[in-house]
């Protein structure tokens, strides 16, 4: 057994190409649930969290809006995993459905997020205030094209 994030399949192909077709993915043990966020960072909501509702809103936001989570839109079986559709398993485990195609705004919002998150964390504000500041930073730069997309959707 080996515990890796979603990109672990590609690493295994590099490390042990001769074992093609012999590996499978499964849910984490002990009821653990987490989301890999492109860089091997995971998000977990613990039972000890004092901000469960806010944390859950954050996890939902990242899963639904982040351009880094678009791996689940077109799941395909993997030859390396013996034909297993690991992406479909990940989608089932995380409860994600396809939220649509990414937009150019996803990349811009991700850039703002990455640039701003350390600064916001260092301000030592509440989670709600931090998310509000981050949301405002993103909307300051993407609100007009965001509104245009909403109008297009109608």
85-89, 116-120, 145-149: range with lowest mean pLDDT: 116-120
Same domain assignment for residues 133 and 85:
no
pLDDT of amino acid 52: 86
User: Is the full-model pTM beyond 0.75?
Assistant: no
- Six token digits for residue 5: 């994030």
Distance of CA 90 to the CA centre of its chain: 11
**How many structural domains are present in the chain?**
2
- pLDDT category at 41 given cuts 50, 70, 90 is very low
Same domain assignment for residues 125 and 67:
no
3-state secondary structure of 16: coil
Q: What is the mean pLDDT of the chain?
A: 75
Last residue of a domain, one of 100, 115, 130: 100
Give buried/exposed letters for 92-105 (b at 16+ CB in 10 A, else e): eebebeeeeebeeb
By DSSP bridging, strand 42-43 and strand 35-36 are antiparallel
Domain that holds residue 59: 1-100
pLDDT of amino acid 69: 52
pLDDT of amino acid 39: 45
Same domain assignment for residues 141 and 96:
no
Rounded average pLDDT over 69-82? 71
Asked whether residue 133 carries a pLDDT value surpassing 50, the answer given is yes
3-class SS letters over 61-76: HHHHHCHHHHHHCCCC
Question: Distance (Å, rounded) from C-alpha 39 to C-alpha 21?
Answer: 25
Same domain assignment for residues 107 and 86:
no
Asked whether residue 67 carries a pLDDT value surpassing 50, the answer given is no
- pLDDT category at 23 given cuts 50, 70, 90 is very high
Q: Which one has a higher pLDDT value, 32 or 128?
A: 128
Residue 24, C-beta contacts closer than 8 angstroms, at least 6 positions apart: 81, 82, 84
Same domain assignment for residues 91 and 26:
yes
Same domain assignment for residues 55 and 36:
yes
- pLDDT category at 63 given cuts 50, 70, 90 is low
Report the run of H or E that residue 141 belongs to, with start and end: helix 127-153
Phi, psi (degrees; rounded to nearest 5) at 78: -110, 125
Angle between helices 127-153 and 52-65 (to 10 degrees): 40
């Amino acid at each position: 057994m080996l515990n890796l994030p979603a990109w672990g399949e590609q690493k295994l192909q590099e490390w042990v190409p001769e074992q093609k077709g012999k590996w499978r993915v499964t849910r984490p043990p002990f009821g653990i649930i987490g989301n890999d966020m492109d860089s091997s960072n995971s998000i977990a909501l613990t039972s000890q969290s004092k901000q469960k509702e806010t944390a859950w809103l954050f996890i939902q936001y990242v899963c639904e809006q982040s351009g880094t989570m678009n791996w689940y839109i077109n799941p395909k079986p993997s030859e390396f995993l013996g034909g297993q559709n690991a992406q479909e398993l990940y989608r089932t485990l995380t409860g994600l459905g396809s939220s649509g195609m990414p937009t150019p705004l996803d990349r811009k919002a991700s850039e703002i997020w990455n640039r701003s998150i350390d600064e916001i964390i260092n301000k030592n504000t509440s989670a709600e205030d931090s998310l509000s500041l981050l949301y405002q930073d993103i909307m300051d730069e993407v609100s007009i094209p965001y509104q245009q997309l909403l109008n297009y959707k109608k």
